[in-house]
A and B are shown apart, each in its own frame.
Chain A
Amino acid sequence: MGRFLIRRLIHMFAVLVAVLIIVSLLLRLIPGDPVDAMMAGNPGMSQENMDAVREQLGLTDPMYVQVMSYSLDLLRGDMGESLRFRSPVFPLIMEKLPATIELTVFAMIMAILIAIPLGMITALQRDRPADYLGSIVAVIGISIPSFLLGILLILVFAVEWRIFPAAGYGGSLTGSIRHLVTTGDPSPLGTSLRYLFLPGITLGVAAAAYNARMVRSAMIEVLGQDYIRAAEAKGLPRRTVVLRHTLRNALIPVITILGLQIGYLLSGAFVVENVFAWPGIGRFSVQALSWRDYPTIQGIVMITALIFLTINLLVDVLYAMLDPRIRIG
């Protein structure tokens, strides 16, 4: 296990370095530099001023010097200054990150909570009406773009029925849980959940539908195995056979894709945040792109890649613990 972990960590580091280099190089190919973007707001800026600012920001250095100095700063935890806010990038991103993590985790939990029962029922009811209905729902769930689902949910639950707010953020979820624990007052938690619900569902539905199909086919495969027949033959209750012998084994392939799925959910969060005006890094990055705020974009890409790689590493470790055969490979 130790060597497996070390090899994976080295690999992860190499990938991060490559991401860093490629992203820095690509971002400098963007037409128009940040000084042009600044000038758009200050028509009075003279050519000399612009050159001075470029010099000051290090934009006149050769590309490799810019990339090198950025990397060295990064090792010290310094991601540079946002060109827009004139303040360090790292705290800016960290300020927005919790909202994105809350949204993604909530969506993931939704995806699992919907997928397992749906997959189980459709597998056990194979080729009966419940199975057909579940499968139709799953295909639609996979086919509906998240932004579109978001709009439709807003139309129904916020515009027509006014049950949930149409957009916005109801305060930090972890903060409100802490508030509940320390003061016993549940109202902030209620508010943040009310705001979280529609974007969370929107983001989670596609993953839920996909997982439900996976659980279904994995369950069907496991149900056909000899050891299930043996378990039934020795008279174990149906419940035990389904939950302990079948579901547990059927979940292994699902766990392996959860890592990749976090990537999809993060991608999806970037879109969903813009639909629901959710103040996370997804919305922030679309704004940063329009401001041509290189250091911020670069910071967001690096942090997202780091999170994504860490999750994948954790999933691999989890998988290796569940299935010892993997460690050898």
Chain B
Amino acid sequence: MSNAQIAQPAAGVTSPQHRTGVRRLLRELFRSTKGMTGAILVGLAILAAITAPVVAPHSPTKTSVRAKFAEPVFIDRSSDFLLGGDNLGRDTFSRILYGARASLAIGFLVTLVASVIGSFLGAVAGFRGGIVDTLIMRAVDLQLSMPFILLAMIVLAVLGPGFWSVAIALTLALWVNYARLVRGETLRIREMEYVVSARAIGLADQRILTRHILPNMLHSILVLATLDMAFVIIFEASLTFLGLGIQPPTPTWGFMLSEGRNYLSESPWMTVFPATAVILTVVGINLLGDWLRDTFDPSLRTR
């Protein structure tokens, strides 16, 4: 009986052999409809962002009087514009391809920075405790007491609208998720035998944190980061739509939609296609995040 217990690794501890390898993860991905759908949609968005300069048939910013409100190819066979032209005669298709760049760039950047800073602060809070913990957690409380949009608007007002302001506002909004997650996990793992013994053999705190505690939460952090990226892309588009986000002439989906809104009945393609791009990208990211969560922690399976 006691032997059997010893042979069982403690819950939540992943020894190197048990850690899900990249290859195993990919094999799982191919087997899951949800995961594959997500991966394909996200892959398409990434592909669009990377290949935009090569694939785009027109310049995303070049205006032309001739192409004003040009109809898409499926309405007017002779049209030179696959998905139509906009109010200034810019090519909708090319703008959608370039728009993927802004959305994905801010999505990756914000989730990366927020998760690194948040995880670091959370780990320090959980591991050190005391006054450091109190300070960090009070900052978390404070941030959570303000609806995100107010925080965003204050930041945008102070810094002025633009890519970096939106990135900072969203980072400020999201780091708390990681701080809370990692702090909680650190408190739990800190008391586990392998950490206690690591300390007993004299490992430095920093090494225990980076080598023994953080790697055990990478899965949870990755799941959270994926789902947050969907949130970031939605909110960047929303803020840009309100005129507070990324400014023209940078082609963005949010701005395309805010222009399209004025021509809903005459040129619905100005709205429908960028809308499809946003929805498919975010659906893809969410599916991928859900799949990751199911794979890493089957007990949370929601489908």
B114 interface residue (CB < 8 Å to A): no
A residues with CB within 8 A of B: 11, 15-16, 18-19, 22-23, 26-27, 29-31, 131, 135, 139-140, 142-148, 151-152, 154-155, 159, 213, 216-217, 263-264, 266-268, 270-271, 274-275, 282, 285-286, 289, 292, 297, 300-301, 304-305, 308-309, 312
B241 at interface by CB-CB < 8 Å: yes
**Interface of A: prevailing SS:** helix
A27 and B154 alpha carbons, distance in the complex (Å) = 7
Inter-subunit contact A305/B145 (CB<8 Å): yes
B261 touches A (CB below 8 Å): yes
Chain B interface: which size bin?
A: 35 or more
Cα–Cα distance between A142 and B149 once the two chains are bound (Å): 18
- Residue B287, interface by CB 8 Å: yes
Interchain nearest-CB distance for A169 vs B (Å): 18
Please determine whether A145 and B145 come into contact, CB atoms closer than 8 angstroms.
no
Question: Taking A135-B303, A266-B149, A286-B153 as contacts, is the C-beta distance between A147 and B238 under 8 angstroms?
Answer: yes
- Stretch of B60-68, B74-82, B278-286 with 4 or more beta carbons under 8 angstroms from chain A: B278-286
Within 8 A of A (CB), among B133-189: 138, 141-142, 144-150, 153-158, 160
Query: With A145-B237, A267-B148, A308-B147 as given contacts, are A285 and B279 in contact (CB-CB < 8 Å)?
Result: no
CB atoms of B145 and A15 under 8 A apart: yes
B146 touches A151 (CB 8 A): no
Contact A139–B286 (Cβ < 8 Å): yes
Q: Which chain B residues lie closer than 8 Å to A297 at the CB level?
A: 153-154, 157
Q: Provide a sorted-by-A list of 21 A–B residue pairs whose CB atoms are within 8 angstroms.
A: A11-B141, A19-B142, A26-B158, A29-B158, A139-B286, A140-B283, A143-B234, A146-B238, A147-B241, A148-B279, A213-B302, A217-B300, A266-B149, A267-B149, A271-B242, A275-B261, A286-B153, A289-B153, A289-B244, A300-B150, A305-B150
The winner among A135, A151, A268 for most chain B CB atoms within 10 A is: A151
Are A18 and B287 in touch, CB under 8 angstroms? no
Measured CA separation A216–B290 after assembly (Å) = 14
Q: B120-128, B195-203, B206-214, B264-272: which one contacts chain A? A: B264-272
Would you call A143 and B147 a contact (CB within 8 A)? no
B142 close to A154 (CB less than 8 A)? no
Given the contacts A139-B287, A146-B238, A286-B153, A154 and B158 also touching, CB distance less than 8 Å: no
Give complex CA distance A308, B148 in Å.
11
Contacts of B217 in A (CB 8 A): none
Beyond A140-B283, A271-B238, whether A305 also contacts B278 by CB under 8 A is no
Q: How distant is the Cα of A29 from the Cα of B238 in the complex, in angstroms?
A: 24
Partner of A144 from the list B138, B155, B244, B282 (CB cut-off 8 Å) is: B282
Given A271-B242, A289-B153: A145 and B271 interface contact (C-beta under 8 Å):
no
Q: Which residues of B contact A135 (CB under 8 A)?
A: 303
Min CB–CB distance A56 → chain B (angstroms): 23
Does B13 interact with chain A (Cβ within 8 Å)? Answer: no
Q: Can you add 12 more A-B contacts, CB < 8 Å, to A145-B278, A159-B264?
A: A16-B145, A27-B158, A145-B234, A147-B257, A152-B275, A267-B148, A267-B150, A268-B149, A271-B242, A274-B242, A286-B242, A304-B150
Interface class of chain B by DSSP: helix
For A267, what are the chain B residues with a Cβ–Cβ distance below 8 Å? 147-150
Task: Say whether A15 contacts B157, CB under 8 Å.
Answer: no
Distance between B242 CB and nearest chain A CB, rounded to angstroms: 6
Which of B157, B241, B283 counts the most chain A CB atoms within 10 A? B157
Give the complex CA separation of A163 and B257 in angstroms: 23
A301 and B141 in contact, given A31-B160, A143-B283 (Cβ under 8 angstroms): no
Give, as a whole number of angstroms, the nearest-CB distance from A174 to chain B: 23
Which of B154, B265, B268 has most chain A Cβ within 10 Å? B154
Q: Given the complex, which residues of A lie within 8 Å of B302, measured CB to CB?
A: 213, 216-217
Contacts of A266 in B (CB 8 A): 147, 149
Contacts of B238 in A (CB 8 A): 145-147, 271
Name the CB-closest residue of A to B155: A26
**B157 touching A143 by the CB < 8 A rule?**
no
Also in contact, A15 and B142, with CB within 8 A (given A143-B282, A151-B264)? yes
B160 A148 Cβ-Cβ under 8 A? no
From known contacts A31-B160, A148-B257, A159-B265, infer whether A304 and B147 are also in contact, taking CB-CB under 8 Å.
Answer: yes
Please, which residues of chain B bring their CB within 8 A of the CB of A29? 158
User: In whole angstroms, what is the CA distance A274 to B158 when docked?
Assistant: 21
The distance from the CB of A33 to the nearest CB of chain B, in whole angstroms, is 12
Cα separation A320 to B279 with both chains bound (whole Å): 39
Instruction: Kindly state the separation between the CA atoms of A37 and B211 in the bound complex, as whole angstroms.
Output: 54
CA distance in complex: A23, B282 (Å): 32
* Chain B residues whose CB sits within 8 angstroms of the CB of A309 once the complex forms: 145
Nearest CB on A from B118, distance (A): 17
Q: Inside 8 A of B145's CB, which chain A residues have their CB?
A: 15-16, 19, 305, 308-309, 312
